[in-house]
Amino acid sequence: MLENTPPVQLIAPKRFGDARGWFTEVYSVPAFAARGIACTFVQDNHSLSVPAFTLRGLHFQTPPRGQDKLVRCIRGRIFDVAVDVRRGSPTYGEWVGAELSAENGHQLFIPVGFAHGFLTLEPDCEVAYKCSDTYAPEQDGGIRWDDPAIGIAWPIPAGIAPELSTKDKVQPRLADFDSPFVYDARPLTPLA
């Protein structure tokens, strides 16, 4: 890991366009290693959320099956969030978020030790993300999306209730979570 590399990173791949459209390189081992991201991705996931304001999260996998994630929106727009859940971190319970869209092409790298969630901002959003470990149901965990101790400023219009899974309606609050994640001396910093 590069010294002073932030744990959560917003990545804006360059697009090369002409009259036909554009081309972009969304993942390259050497380019990501230069950013301090040296994990090996072993699973790709793809989700479709039909209603606007579908909220998925806040999710993680616990050790020894923790997952680094590289998230991008390939259709529509989402508000993507990472919450620090590393025991002993000076930024424990703090969050960062960014809009990812098919139009802007931005990606969010979320390492092990962070809960992840996203809110769709329009109908028919598709999200694709890489994971550094396969799905392990026995290690599956989460935190409530609306925990006031975290205070995520989800861009949900007044009077709208987000679409939630049954699982996400009953996740524990941060205060009731005994974190197995260990702080790695890299505090959460604002996204550039």
Total count of domains within the chain: 1
Query: In the structure encoding, which two tokens stand for residue 134, read together?
Result: 């396969």
Catalytic option among 46, 59, 92, 183: 59
Number of Cβ atoms within 10 Å of the Cβ of 137: 7
For residue 1, tell me if it sits in a domain: no
Number of Cβ atoms within 10 Å of the Cβ of 146: 16
Domain containing 57 equals 9-14+25-176
User: Residue 108 sits in a domain of what CATH number?
Assistant: 2.60.120.10
Residue 183 annotated in active site: no
**Quick one: pLDDT at residue 76?**
98
For residue 69, tell me if it sits in a domain: yes
pLDDT (tens place) for every residue of the chain, 192 residues total: 455 667 999 999 999 999 999 999 999 999 999 999 999 999 999 999 999 999 999 999 999 999 999 999 999 999 999 999 999 999 999 999 999 999 999 999 999 999 999 999 999 999 999 999 999 999 999 999 999 999 999 999 999 999 999 999 999 999 999 999 999 999 999 997
Residue 59 annotated in active site: yes
Measured between alpha carbons, how far is 64 from 103 in angstroms, rounded to an integer? 36
